[in-house]
Amino acid sequence: MNLFDSGRTGLFLLGLIVATALSGGLLGHRIARRQLDARNNPENWNEHVAREFDRRVKPTAEQDHRIQAHLDRAVRELQVIRMETIARSTNVIARLIAEVDKELTPAQRQAFEAMKPKPADLTLDLLNVEPKPGRQP
């Protein structure tokens, strides 16, 4: 085995290590993002809390119905808070864009146009989930 073959083998191994690290990083990021999205989904949160509460506290059927009603009400309140927050945040961003736009030259406005967030980017309708049917008091 000469020096050229060992160098080529070393480069191959280095490439393999880099490819494996990149694949692992991308896969890890995707899994973490999916878990974060699931955790932010109130329907999943509602189900998780109810399941964990049942497992640990073991409420009676009558208690379970009343407790679920409280949980559903809290989810609805959180939905309202989230939607109000999104609306307020969107208004602040729109106002900022309008204020900055006034300060720019026409050429700068063209470049700024590409940077502006689209309306679809400003909506985070993650809490648009209705309580479970048949569980309201």
- Residue 55 carries which side chain, given as an amino acid letter? R
Q: What is the mean pLDDT of residues 92-115?
A: 91
- Per the CB < 8 A criterion, the answer to whether 82 and 127 are in contact is yes
**pLDDT at 102 > cutoff 50:** yes
With a pLDDT cut of 90, the percent of the chain lying above it is 35
What band does 126 get if pLDDT is binned at 50, 70 and 90? very low
Q: What is the mean pLDDT of residues 27-32?
A: 92
C-alpha 39 chain-centroid distance: 8
Dist CA 29 CA 94 (whole Å):
31
- Per the CB < 8 A criterion, the answer to whether 35 and 48 are in contact is no
Give pLDDT, residue 111: 92
Please state the pTM of the whole predicted model. 0.54
For residue 27, what are its two tokens?
A: 């896969």
Q: Write the CA distances from 67 to 27, 53, 80, 133, integer angstroms.
A: 38, 10, 20, 15
What band does 123 get if pLDDT is binned at 50, 70 and 90? low
Give pLDDT, residue 81: 86
Quick: pLDDT tens for 4-20. 678 888 889 999 999 99
Give pLDDT, residue 87: 86
Taking the alpha carbons of 18, 19, 23, 26 in that order, is the dihedral positive or negative?
Answer: positive
